[in-house]
């Protein structure tokens, strides 16, 4: 079996699907690994390091994509500068494993099915204990949460920690984290490590204990409806609940120096939680870091990929944060891929074996043998 690692061509993407250490583990198991020349450059993994790990470096991307039994990538397949689409570069029957954003861009699934590609979407790995080592949403969200706080601290015209100096005492910064999922919890931990006083809010009341165990105060909002959907994710709530949430968090936003928003509902536009009126109430110099910018943003003023100024408040619409920590983001993602690929390798003859009775293989596979297999993706296409 030949596993190939493609070079990411999307502007701003610095991660690579496999790192040399993980290549070495696959090679040791008797798997052939091909790496496109320069694939790891932007994450500081050289072709020489891949070669030393036992990979074959391939200069021609067309050859690499066509020969791959399993093609590993980070981001959604792209249209290339030479006019070729990456989906068309794969051989019929090949396996593609990547973030594929199938709920946001379902048309990709249609094209993959037409090409009879067995496509596995890393967003669809179930959030179960057994699948934890493959959970790339979590490994990358954690990096985003960490980096969001660093960006907020760098943009804030104040210190984060309390300091007692000969020139007087500095009060600690107040940080408010909205959405306490994987990214939000890492943001809380990072802000606490930097010495800020931290509050957090999430629509799922179950996270209260986790928030408190990290040393933050949980902001409680009583909503008279179910807020948790299947799989432990947040549900899209009613307009009344959205309004009540906004009223409840307004005072906390107003008093915060840094607000980090991470609230998302899978497959939906991100909810607006910080309104223009709330931004107008914040102190000049305050900062909002919106991790949901790519899904429309949690702040009404957010512009994806831009820093916006409103009455002295800076609203940062972050995109591609995991990519800004490419060494560790690639290292963790490569481990996630390795764990998933292990489920596809026949232990005896090292051939490729897709066992759809395995719940992880079944859930993550969005297209196979010309069919779209995932009902949510089918719905998104309808």
Look up 132 and say whether it is catalytic.
Answer: yes
Q: Which is closer to ligand NAD, CB of 129 or CB of 169?
A: 129
* DSSP state, residue 346: -
**How many Cβ atoms are within 10 Å of 218's Cβ, its own excluded?**
16
Q: Which is closer to ligand NAD, CB of 48 or CB of 228?
A: 228
The residue from 15, 25, 98, 135 that is catalytic is: 135
Query: Smallest distance from the beta carbon of 39 to ligand NAD, in angstroms?
Result: 27
Query: Smallest distance from the beta carbon of 282 to ligand NAD, in angstroms?
Result: 18
The residue from 98, 121, 138, 323 that is catalytic is: 138
Block residue for tokens 């493959």: 134
Give residues in contact with ligand NAD (CB under 6 A).
127-129, 132, 135, 137-138, 141, 178-184, 201-204, 232-234, 245, 262-266, 271, 273
Does an H or E element contain 12, and which? none
Q: Which is closer to ligand NAD, CB of 61 or CB of 181?
A: 181
The answer to whether 256 and 282 are in contact (CB under 8 A) is: yes
313 beta partners:
310
Can you point out the beta strands (E) in 26-138? 32-36, 56-58, 70-72, 95-98, 118-121
The residue from 46, 60, 85, 127 that is catalytic is: 127
Look up 233 and say whether it is catalytic.
Answer: yes
Look up 135 and say whether it is catalytic.
Answer: yes
The residue from 233, 307, 342, 353 that is catalytic is: 233
The residue from 42, 63, 111, 132 that is catalytic is: 132
Query: Smallest distance from the beta carbon of 80 to ligand NAD, in angstroms?
Result: 30
* 34's tokens: 């091909």
Cα torsion through 156, 157, 162, 166, rounded to 10: 160
CA 113 to each of CA 2, 83, 147, 341: distance values in angstroms, whole numbers, following the listed order? 21, 21, 36, 20
Query: Smallest distance from the beta carbon of 361 to ligand NAD, in angstroms?
Result: 17
Query: Smallest distance from the beta carbon of 134 to ligand NAD, in angstroms?
Result: 10
Q: Which is closer to ligand NAD, CB of 74 or CB of 291?
A: 291
CA 266 to each of CA 104, 105, 211, 292, 330: distance values in angstroms, whole numbers, following the listed order? 9, 13, 21, 11, 23
Q: Which is closer to ligand NAD, CB of 262 or CB of 374?
A: 262
Catalytic residue numbers? Answer: 127, 132, 135, 138, 233
């Amino acid at each position: 079996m030949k596993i190939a690692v493609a070079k990411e061509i999307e502007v701003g993407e610095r991660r690579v699907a496999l790192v040399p250490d993980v290549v070495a583990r696959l090679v040791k198991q008797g798997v052939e690994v091909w790496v496109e020349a320069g694939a790891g450059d932007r994450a500081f993994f050289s072709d020489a390091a891949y070669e030393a790990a036992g990979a074959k470096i391939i200069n021609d991307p067309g050859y690499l994509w066509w020969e791959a039994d399993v093609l590993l990538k980070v981001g959604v397949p792209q249209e290339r500068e030479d006019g070729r689409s990456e989906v068309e570069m794969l051989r019929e029957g090949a396996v593609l494993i990547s973030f594929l954003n199938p709920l946001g861009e379902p048309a990709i699934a249609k094209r993959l099915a037409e090409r009879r590609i067995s496509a596995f979407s890393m967003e669809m790995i179930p959030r179960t204990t057994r699948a934890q080592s493959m959970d790339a949403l979590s490994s990358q969200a954690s990096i985003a949460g960490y980096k969001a706080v660093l960006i907020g601290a760098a943009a804030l015209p104040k210190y984060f920690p309390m300091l007692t100096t000969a020139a007087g005492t500095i009060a600690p910064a107040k940080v408010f984290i909205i959405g306490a999922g994987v990214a939000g919890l890492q943001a809380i931990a990072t802000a606490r490590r930097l010495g800020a006083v931290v509050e957090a809010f999430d629509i799922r009341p179950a996270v209260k204990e986790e928030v408190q165990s990290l040393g933050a105060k949980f902001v409680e909002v009583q909503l008279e409806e179910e807020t948790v959907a299947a799989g432990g994710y947040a549900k899209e709530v009613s307009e009344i609940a959205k309004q009540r949430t906004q009223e409840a968090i307004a005072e906390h936003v107003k008093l915060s120096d840094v607000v980090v928003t991470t609230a998302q509902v899978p497959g939906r536009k991100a909810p607006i939680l910080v309104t223009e009126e709330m931004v107008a109430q914040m102190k000049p110099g305050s900062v909002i870091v919106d991790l949901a910018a790519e899904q429309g943003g949690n702040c009404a003023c957010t512009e994806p990929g831009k820093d916006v100024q409103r009455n002295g408040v800076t609203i940062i619409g972050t995109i591609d944060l995991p990519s800004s920590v490419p060494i560790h983001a690639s290292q963790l993602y490569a481990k996630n891929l390795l764990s998933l690929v292990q489920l596809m390798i026949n232990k005896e003859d090292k051939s490729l074996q897709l066992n759809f009775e395995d719940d992880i293989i079944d859930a993550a596979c969005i297209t196979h043998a010309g069919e779209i297999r995932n009902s949510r993706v089918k719905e998104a296409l309808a």
